[in-house]
Amino acid sequence: MRHNLVVPDLGLGSRHVTLSLWLVELGAEVTEGDRLVELSADSVTVDLPAPASGRFVESLAVEDEEIAVGQVLGVVESDD
C-alpha cells in the first residue's frame, strides 16, 4: 500500500514551504514516525514524519524547492 507524504499546513498563513533537507535516502526502510524530511517557512523549521512503516520509494521534490501546502512530497510503500 502506498502512503503519500503530504506538505502540512504549518499554520503560518503561508501556502508554501521550502524543502530544506531529505533526512533519509530513497529506498531506505523507515518506521512510522521516523523523520523523513526537513521543511522550513519563515522562522519555523519542522521535520515531517513517515506516515507509515515501509520503504521510502519516491521523492517528488528536491532540496531548496518551494512547495505548496497539500503537495505530495514522497511516497512510503508498506507491505499491507
Partner 1 sequence: MSQLPAPVSLPIITPEEVSREAAPRLPRWLKRNVPKGNSNHFTANLLEELRLETVCDNAKCPNRMECYSQKTATFMILGNVCTRPCGFCAVAKGKTQQVELDEPDRLAEASARLGLAHVVITSVTRDDLDDGGAEHFYRCVLAVRERTGAAVEVLTPDFLGKPGAIERVVASRPEVFNHNTETVPRLYREVRGRKSDYRWTLELLRRVKELDPTIKTKSGLMLGLGELRDEVLDTLADLRDVGCDLLTLGQYLQPSPEHLPVVRYLPPEEFDELGLAARRMGFAQVASGPFVRSSYHAREMAE
Q: Which residues bind partner 1 (CB under 8 A)?
A: 8-13, 38, 40, 42-49
| Choice between 27 and 63, CB closer to partner 1 | 63
Altogether, the residues listed in the chain come to a count of: 80
C-alpha separations of 55 from 2, 19, 24, 64 in Å: 10, 20, 11, 24
Give Cβ neighbours of residue 42 (< 8 Å, ≥ 6 apart): 12, 14
| Choice between 41 and 56, CB closer to partner 1 | 41
- Nearest approach, Cβ of 79 to partner 1 (angstroms)? 25
- Nearest approach, Cβ of 60 to partner 1 (angstroms)? 18
